[in-house]
Amino acid sequence: MKIALCSSFVPFVNGGYRNIVEWLEASLLEAGHEVERIYLPEVDTPELLFKQMAAFRYVDLSAADRIICFRPQSHLIPHPRKVVWFIHHLRPFYDLWDSPYRGFPDDAKHRGIRDALHATDTAALHEASAIFTNSRVVSDRLKQFNDIDSEPLYPPIFQPARFQFRSMNDEIVCICRLEHHKRQHLLIEALAHCRTPVRLRLCGVAGDPGYAEMLEGLVAQHGLADRVVVDHRWITEEEKADLIADCLAAAYIPVDEDSYGYPTLEAAHARKPVLTTLDAGGTLEFIVDQQSGLIAPPFPEAIAKCMDQFYADRGVTRAMGESARSRIDELRIGWPHVLERLLA
Amino acid sequence: MKVLIVNNMAPFVSGGAESMATHLKRNIEIAGHQAEILRIPFQWEPATRIPSQMLMSRAFELEGVDHVIAMKFPAYLVRHPRKTLWLVHQYRQAYDLYDAGHTNLPEGQLGSDLRRVIKNADDACFRDARRIFAISDVTRDRLAKYNGFESTVLRAPLNDPDIFTGGPAEGYIFAGGRVNDAKRQHLLVEALAHAPRTVRLVIGGPPDTSADGDKLRATVERLGVQDRVRLDLRFLDRLEYARYVNGASAVASLPFDEESFSYVAMEAATAAKPIISTSDSGGVLGLARHGTTGWVAAPNAKALAQVMADVYASAERTRELGVAAQACWEGFNITWPATAQALLS
């Protein structure tokens, strides 16, 4: 089948939004399909939205048997066999309207843009022959704002067999970008409250170097230099697999994310449980408290208790890791299932 | 610098310009910059839809991009304050092909309106461009003739010059590349029938259609030259292809009215092989110079047969012409580092 994968992109900005497209591309090619990947630029400035949306309407992919659309506003591209794998709305106009992240005034003009955007999105989504999302959270939003039903189709990671269980040391790892909203600082503050000698390793690149410095400062302030490693760089995939293979458990505590996050899935493939917080969003769709991981209120003392539990009850920790691995199959997170649904 | 290369795409069809863009990206990165490729889908049928495709290119917004290098219509209409054009081609059906009657633009007022829309947008784009480079003399001349803009010729370099190492001549003339009527491999087979029996010919490359392959095989049969010609009619991987070039006594490239030097001739010169061409081969004659870097014959079998005889008359002379072809090619300094530098300047 000739399949066009369509998404918007920001030139020179990489991230998970490209992974889902490119990993699907690799899986489709492996399954013998012809694939064309189409990334078109989009800038989210309210005044510039509609002319760019017109551009998406002019994209002619009639040479494809089917198109699969990801990041907004690629779902506006017309096609008789349009499948949408919806990963998020233009959130400032949707769920983030009443939040500090809106970035423009709540006035008649912007309300007008918002209402027209909602109407356009709804109409374009009605053109689709199938709509999938990357999480229950996003499906709920589609229902709430656009009154559209959709099926969560959880994005797998690429070549998951790279992540294997090898041993259990006394280290909790958190491997993702160092960002304030990923809250690595909370993990350091928690460690200061721990009663066991459990250790912490934070790996990732900071978009804002100030945040990495702040983390270093926190480590020094609490006198934790001998128990925390802050590895401020982009570690290789091999290094990552090694660290996870030998760790005690993983931690992933972002603020209200849409999806469970690739770090969660990487740990689960390696049969390691994941520590998260009640307000982390999508991780809660994957992690079941005391089964596939631990869920704490977002406070240092509560998180510390979980970290101590991982260390103290190693048998239980090990069993939770196995349960995290089973959770992947329970939620049918895998490329064969994804291909079956997207090509149905 | 963050450099965005902007190119067209025809979905599910990969063309030469795509691999140019890929190599350009890599060489911009080697020069110490960041580079990414934006491929904008272009649908030109029916022609009445072309203005929507132009609007589309015009409506995209670019943020966080320091420099744009754009190659084709209508992708090059994308707006950016620092845009350099490396013109592969304009929409020829609105220009020279329109004049020649080979156009998909409708007849009458509608067609001439569409043509004017295309030309006006092109003119505005060329006016706003930081610099304009053209891929060939023909492209440069066409731009000057139809739009009145000056440009600098910047030819596409070879992507893998290092595999064309040259080597001892093994006694055959090689004709590589796509096989079709316009590339005129059949003329070489016909010449062979008139040439001394010592001449050996190898034709290697993929026929455009199965009919092109059948026709060539039939010609060989009809002239009874099976024992002196080898037809390797398939897609050759680059190393197989290079092996044929490196072992050849001379390389033939006689396309009709080619715009560029032709990759076949560039590869031959890189490998220090003399080039056989014909007087109506257009751009190839920039590299193939009679008696200096090879032989240029009238486009008929008898004249080509004489050239074939000359290739075998003196191995020493043939080798010297090859060395001269290499020196001629190197004199142009058409390399990826130089090309990337020009496009970033």
From chain B, the residues in CB contact with A7 under 8 A are: none
- Does A12 sit within 8 Å of B34, measured CB to CB? yes
End-to-end CA distance of chain A: 12
Q: Write down the pLDDT at residue B8.
A: 92
The verdict on B182 and B321 lying in the same domain is: yes
- Does B38 sit within 8 Å of A11, measured CB to CB? yes
d(CA B308, CA A222): 85
Q: Tokens at residue A175, please?
A: 């491997």
Burial class, B151, CB count within 10 angstroms (exposed 0-12 / middle 13-18 / buried 19+): buried
Smallest Cβ distance to B62: which of A41, A51, A61? A41
Is residue A277 a contact partner of residue A200, using CB atoms and an 8 Å limit?
no
- Strands (DSSP E) found in chain A: 2-9, 34-41, 66-69, 82-86, 130-133, 151-152, 171-175, 199-203, 228-231, 249-251, 274-277, 293-296
d(CA B69, CA B144): 20
Smallest Cβ distance to A58: which of B2, B52, B65? B52
- Which among B56, B57, B66 is the top mutation candidate for probing chain A, defined by the most A β-carbons within 10 Å of its own β-carbon? B56
- Does B63 sit within 8 Å of A10, measured CB to CB? yes
Smallest Cβ distance to B55: which of A12, A58, A64? A58
Q: Which of A17, A78, A11 is nearest to A43 (CA)?
A: A11
Q: Write down the pLDDT at residue A309.
A: 98
Q: Write down the pLDDT at residue B89.
A: 81
B207 phi and psi, to 5 degrees? -65, 140
A43 in reach of chain B (CB within 8 A): yes
Distance from CA of B149 to the nearest CA of A (A): 28
From chain A, the residues in CB contact with B60 under 8 A are: 40-41, 52, 55
Q: Which of B20, B19, B18, B22 is nearest to B8 (CA)?
A: B18
**CA geometry: angle B182, B194, B285, nearest 5 deg:** 40
Burial class, B222, CB count within 10 angstroms (exposed 0-12 / middle 13-18 / buried 19+): exposed
Query: What is the value of pTM for the model shown?
Result: 0.87
**CA geometry: angle B233, B240, B227, nearest 5 deg:** 50
- Does A4 sit within 8 Å of B11, measured CB to CB? yes
DSSP state of A11: T
The verdict on B171 and B83 lying in the same domain is: no
Q: Which A positions 46-85 lie with beta carbon below 8 A of chain B?
A: 48, 51-52, 54-55, 58-64
User: Domain ends where: B105, B123, B154?
Assistant: B154
d(CA B202, CA B229): 6
Residue B15 has pLDDT above 70, yes or no: no
> What domain range is B13 assigned to?
2-154
- Dihedral-angle region of residue B144 (phi above 0 means left; psi in -120 to 50 means alpha; beta otherwise): alpha
d(CA B64, CA B169): 53
Is residue A182 a contact partner of residue A176, using CB atoms and an 8 Å limit?
yes
DSSP state of A206: B
From chain B, the residues in CB contact with A59 under 8 A are: 41, 56
Distance from CA of B227 to the nearest CA of A (A): 41
- Which among A28, A45, A59, A61 is the top mutation candidate for probing chain B, defined by the most B β-carbons within 10 Å of its own β-carbon? A59
Strand partners, A229: A201
Tell me, yes or no, whether B337 lies in a domain: no
Tell me, yes or no, whether B99 lies in a domain: yes
Is residue A38 a contact partner of residue A9, using CB atoms and an 8 Å limit?
no
From chain B, the residues in CB contact with A45 under 8 A are: 61
d(CA A13, CA B328): 43
Tell me, yes or no, whether B341 lies in a domain: no
Q: What is the pLDDT of residues B84-131, one digit of tens each?
A: 999 988 999 999 999 989 899 999 999 999 999 999 999 999 999 999
Distance from CA of B4 to the nearest CA of A (A): 8
Q: Residue B257 — pLDDT band, cuts 50, 70, 90?
A: confident
Sheet holding B201-204: strands in order across? B229-232, B201-204, B173-176, B250-252, B275-278, B294-297
A115 phi and psi, to 5 degrees? -65, -40
- Does B4 sit within 8 Å of A38, measured CB to CB? no
CB atoms within 10 A of CB A253: 27
Q: Which of B259, B266, B21, B264 is nearest to B140 (CA)?
A: B259
Could you read off the pLDDT tens digit of each residue along chain A, which spans 344 residues?
A: 999 999 999 999 887 789 999 999 999 999 999 999 999 999 999 999 999 999 999 999 999 999 999 999 999 999 999 999 999 999 999 999 999 889 999 999 999 999 999 999 999 999 999 999 999 999 999 999 999 999 999 999 999 999 999 999 999 999 999 999 999 999 999 999 999 999 999 999 988 889 999 999 999 999 999 999 999 998 999 999 999 999 999 999 999 888 899 999 999 999 999 999 999 999 999 999 999 999 999 999 999 999 999 999 999 999 999 999 999 999 999 999 999 999 99
Domain count, chain B: 2
- Does A36 sit within 8 Å of B9, measured CB to CB? yes
Residue B242 has pLDDT above 70, yes or no: yes
- Token pair 């609007």 is found at B55
Positive or negative: CA dihedral A123, A124, A125, A126? positive
From chain B, the residues in CB contact with A55 under 8 A are: 55-57, 59-60
Is residue A156 a contact partner of residue A338, using CB atoms and an 8 Å limit?
yes
The verdict on B204 and B130 lying in the same domain is: no
**What is the ipTM for the molecules in this complex?**
0.88
- Which among B25, B43, B53, B61 is the top mutation candidate for probing chain A, defined by the most A β-carbons within 10 Å of its own β-carbon? B61
From chain B, the residues in CB contact with A43 under 8 A are: 61-63
Tell me, yes or no, whether B336 lies in a domain: no
Tell me, yes or no, whether B36 lies in a domain: yes
Strand partners, B250: B173
d(CA B344, CA B67): 8
Q: What is the pLDDT of residues B155-196, one digit of tens each?
A: 999 999 999 999 999 999 999 998 988 899 999 999 999 999
Residue B276 has pLDDT above 70, yes or no: yes
DSSP state of A51: H
Q: What is the pLDDT of residues B33-52, one digit of tens each?
A: 999 999 999 999 999 999 99
The verdict on B31 and B122 lying in the same domain is: yes
Give residue ranges of B with CB < 8 Å to any A CB: 2, 4, 9-12, 34, 36, 38-41, 43, 49, 52-53, 55-57, 59-65
Q: Which of B73, B28, B37, B43 is nearest to A41 (CA)?
A: B37
A14 in reach of chain B (CB within 8 A): no
The verdict on B238 and B118 lying in the same domain is: no
Is residue B67 a contact partner of residue B84, using CB atoms and an 8 Å limit?
yes
Distance from CA of A68 to the nearest CA of B (A): 14
From chain B, the residues in CB contact with A11 under 8 A are: 2, 4, 36, 38, 62-65
Which CATH number belongs to the domain containing residue B266 in this structure? 3.40.50.2000
The verdict on B20 and B135 lying in the same domain is: yes
Length of chain B: 345
- Which among B60, B66, B68, B82 is the top mutation candidate for probing chain A, defined by the most A β-carbons within 10 Å of its own β-carbon? B60
User: Domain ends where: B139, B154, B169?
Assistant: B154
- Does A2 sit within 8 Å of B55, measured CB to CB? no
- Does B39 sit within 8 Å of A41, measured CB to CB? no
- Does A36 sit within 8 Å of B12, measured CB to CB? yes
Based on its alpha-carbon atoms, the radius of gyration of chain A, rounded to whole angstroms, reads 21
User: Domain ends where: B122, B154, B186?
Assistant: B154
The verdict on B169 and B317 lying in the same domain is: yes
DSSP code per residue over A231-289:
E-S---HHHHHHHHHH-SEEE---SSBSS--HHHHHHHHTT--EEEETT-BTHHHH--B
Smallest Cβ distance to A55: which of B36, B60, B64? B60
Q: Write down the pLDDT at residue A100.
A: 87
Smallest Cβ distance to A55: which of B10, B11, B59? B59
Q: Write down the pLDDT at residue B225.
A: 96
Smallest Cβ distance to B41: which of A10, A52, A59? A59
Distance from CA of B51 to the nearest CA of A (A): 10
End-to-end CA distance of chain B: 11
Strand partners, B131: B84
The verdict on B96 and B237 lying in the same domain is: no
- Which residues, other chains included, contact B65 with Cβ-Cβ below 8 Å and sequence gap of 6+? A11, A12, B2, B3, B4, B80
* Alpha-carbon A339 to chain mean position: 20
- Does A64 sit within 8 Å of B11, measured CB to CB? yes
Is residue A295 a contact partner of residue A276, using CB atoms and an 8 Å limit?
yes
SS3 (DSSP) at A121: helix
What structural domains and CATH numbers belong to chain A?
2-153 (3.40.50), 160-330 (3.40.50.2000)
- Does A38 sit within 8 Å of B41, measured CB to CB? yes
Tell me, yes or no, whether B215 lies in a domain: yes
Which CATH number belongs to the domain containing residue B93 in this structure? 3.40.50
Tell me, yes or no, whether B22 lies in a domain: yes
Portion of chain B with pLDDT greater than 70, in percent? 99
The verdict on B90 and B214 lying in the same domain is: no
Positive or negative: CA dihedral B236, B186, B183, B328? positive
Q: Which of B52, B62, B43 is nearest to B118 (CA)?
A: B52
Residues A297-308 as b/e (b if ≥16 CB within 10 A, e otherwise) read ebebebbbbbbb
Tell me, yes or no, whether B344 lies in a domain: no
The 3 state secondary structure assigned to chain B is CEEEEEEEEECCECCHHHHHHHHHHHHHHHCCCEEEEEEEECCCCCHHHHHHHHHHHHHCCCCCCCEEEEEECCHHHCCCCCEEEEEEECCHHHCHHHHCCCCCCCCHHHHHHHHHHHHHHHHHHHHHCCEEEECCHHHHHHHHHHHCCCCEECCCCCCCHHHCCCCCCCCCEEEECCECHHHCHHHHHHHHHHCCCCCCEEEECCECCHHHHHHHHHHHHHHCCHHHEEEECCCCCHHHHHHHHHHCCEEECCCCCECCCCHHHHHHHHCCCCEEEECCCEHHHHCCCECCCEEEECCCHHHHHHHHHHHHHCHHHHHHHHHHHHHHHHHCCCCHHHHHHHHHC
The verdict on B74 and B166 lying in the same domain is: no
Nearest CA in chain B to A44: B61
The verdict on B295 and B176 lying in the same domain is: yes
- Which residues, other chains included, contact B116 with Cβ-Cβ below 8 Å and sequence gap of 6+? none
Is residue A122 a contact partner of residue A146, using CB atoms and an 8 Å limit?
yes
The verdict on B221 and B88 lying in the same domain is: no
Is residue A254 a contact partner of residue A182, using CB atoms and an 8 Å limit?
yes
- Does A38 sit within 8 Å of B12, measured CB to CB? no
